[in-house]
Each structure stands twice: as structure tokens, then as C-alpha cells.
Amino acid sequence: QDKEIRAVFLWLFARLFQGYRWCLHIIRIHPEPVIRFHKAAFLGQRSLSEDDFLIKVLDGMAFAGFVSERGPPYRATDLFDDVSFHKLYKCLCP
């Protein structure tokens, strides 16, 4: 049952953050690159700019940590990437 609950949360967050990487901007003028998330673009592409829940999630510290950990372009992929890509692929290529 624990694995089922984990799978549901993985699916939920993969669905919720699907396409987030397209809204990452890497600023390279600093010695260490800075990664910024373009929240308005993310909400706009999903027509969710008025969704209070998602706005609060994106403004939270947990999401900031998510972006800083998963934002670098050349990191190894994992199960979350596979699930979110699979969801995106199914939406784009039925």
C-alpha cells in the first residue's frame, strides 16, 4: 500500500509540474549560473494564471528547492523525469 501511495503522489506531481523545464531560465553572467523559474509563462501556457493553489505551490520554498535541484541542464534523469515526460508525450502525440 505504501508503494501505491508513493505512485499516486509521483503521478500527481508529475502531472502538476509537467512542462516546468520549458520555463526555466539560466542566467550565466554570474560565476555560478543562476536558475530562475518563469512562473507567469508556466501558468499562462496552462491557462491557470488564476489558480490560487498552484500559485501558492509555485511560490513555496519546496518548489524553489525542486527547481534548484532539478534545474541544471546536464543532470541525470530519474523516475520523475520519465513519468512527466511520458505524460507530456501522451498529451502531444495521442
CA distance 67 to 40: 15
Q: Whole-prediction pTM value?
A: 0.70
Label residue 88 by pLDDT band (50, 70, 90).
very low
What's the pLDDT at 90?
A: 53
CA angle 48, 35, 63 (to 5 degrees): 50
All three cell numbers of 48, joined, read: 491557470
CA distance 58 to 83: 20
22-73 residue pLDDT tens: 888 888 887 888 888 899 999 888 888 888 888 998 999 998 988 888 877 7
Q: Hey, is 23 helix, strand or coil?
A: helix
Residue 77 pLDDT greater than 80, yes or no: no
What are the sequence ranges of the domains in the chain?
A: 2-92
